[in-house]
């Protein structure tokens, strides 16, 4: 029979992951696990922990197993229908918040909202903003709706392909925004990076965008202007090698004040521009 300490040490997983799964299966938290590594689990619990460790070792993302991931200090429901929120994407939220006054019904659009993490974080920080989240996936929108409810965020969710679900060009309609944000798919089809970490189990449509990874960024950049008011901003997350390409797309689409910002690792991650 193995003790809690031995199960964690022999799991083959990073210690914090084994501890998290053990906590989830047994209710014994990390502090208790460290204080009592000699504790022996009842057989039924030990079997459950072993099965969870095996699933994780086989590549199932920890966030999908737990059904939850933290983003912007908030707990988000996640599952195989949505991309797992990344800490890097908090940069996109920060840049959006810098452009949304604390008061006033600023209209914000989040394209490809997925779990709703970006839209919910913005709505949470700016309760007066009017936030719309668009996604083509019904499965994603159902999770996003739950996340909005969980955090008391009043968000309008619309199913559709980027801007297609919205009224076109009419600045007095639901199609006009002060801020458009997006973390679209931006990895090139066949990129070996797709075999790394959690990516093989995440939705392909949330990750991959054509042979150069720019299909979605191109489509959004080309049509965003028609949906922005004068002075409005478009902020796009992209791959660490796509800063220059993204700037070119925004400049070609008539944006000014085009700039790229680095993520927490110092890599170019978000490019934005304004419509004058």
**Would you say 1 or 195 has its CB closer to ligand GLN?**
195
Neighbours of 208 (CB within 10 A): 20
Name the minimum Å distance from CB 257 to ligand GLN. Answer: 24
Phi, psi of 75 (to 5 degrees): -85, 125
**Least CB distance to ligand GLN at residue 227 (A):** 20
Q: Output the CA torsion 43→49→53→54 (10° steps).
A: 50
Rounded least distance, CB 246 to ligand GLN, Å = 13
What does the alpha-carbon distance between residue 200 and residue 262 come to, in Å, rounded to a whole number? 25
- CB closer to ligand GLN, 83 vs 96: 83
Minimum CB separation of residue 126 from ligand GLN in Å reads: 23
**Residue whose CB is less far from ligand GLN, 103 or 241:** 241
CB-wise, 39 or 86, nearer to ligand GLN?
86
Residues binding ligand GLN (CB under 6 A): 83, 86, 183, 185-187, 199, 207
Minimum gap (Å) between residue 66 Cβ and ligand GLN: 19
Q: Cβ closer to ligand GLN: 16 or 204?
A: 204
């Amino acid at each position: 029979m193995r003790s809690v300490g031995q199960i964690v040490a022999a799991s083959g997983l990073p210690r914090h992951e084994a501890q998290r799964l053990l906590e989830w299966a047994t209710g014994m938290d990390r502090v208790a696990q460290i204080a009592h590594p000699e504790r022996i689990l009842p057989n039924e619990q030990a079997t459950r922990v072993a099965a969870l460790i095996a699933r994780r070792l086989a590549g199932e993302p920890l966030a999908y197993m737990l059904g939850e991931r933290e983003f912007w200090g908030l707990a988000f429901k996640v599952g195989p229908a949505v991309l797992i929120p990344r800490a890097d994407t908090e940069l996109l939220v920060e840049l959006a918040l810098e452009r949304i006054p604390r008061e006033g019904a600023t209209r914000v659009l989040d394209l490809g909202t997925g779990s709703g993490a970006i839209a919910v974080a913005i709505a949470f920080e700016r309760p007066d903003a009017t936030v719309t989240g668009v996604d083509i996936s019904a499965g994603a929108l159902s999770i996003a709706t739950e996340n909005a409810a969980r955090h008391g965020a009043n968000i309008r969710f619309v199913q559709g392909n980027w801007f297609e679900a919205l009224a076109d060009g009419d600045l007095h309609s639901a199609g006009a925004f002060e801020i458009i944000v997006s973390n679209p798919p931006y990895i090139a089809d066949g990129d070996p990076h797709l075999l790394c970490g959690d990516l093989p189990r995440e939705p392909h449509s949330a990750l991959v965008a054509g042979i150069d990874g720019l299909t979605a960024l191109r489509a959004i950049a080309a049509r965003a202007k028609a949906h922005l008011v004068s002075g409005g901003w478009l902020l796009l997350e992209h791959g660490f090698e796509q800063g220059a390409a993204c700037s070119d797309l925004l400049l070609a689409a008539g944006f000014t004040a085009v700039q790229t910002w680095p993520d927490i690792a110092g890599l170019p991650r978000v490019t934005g521009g304004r419509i004058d």
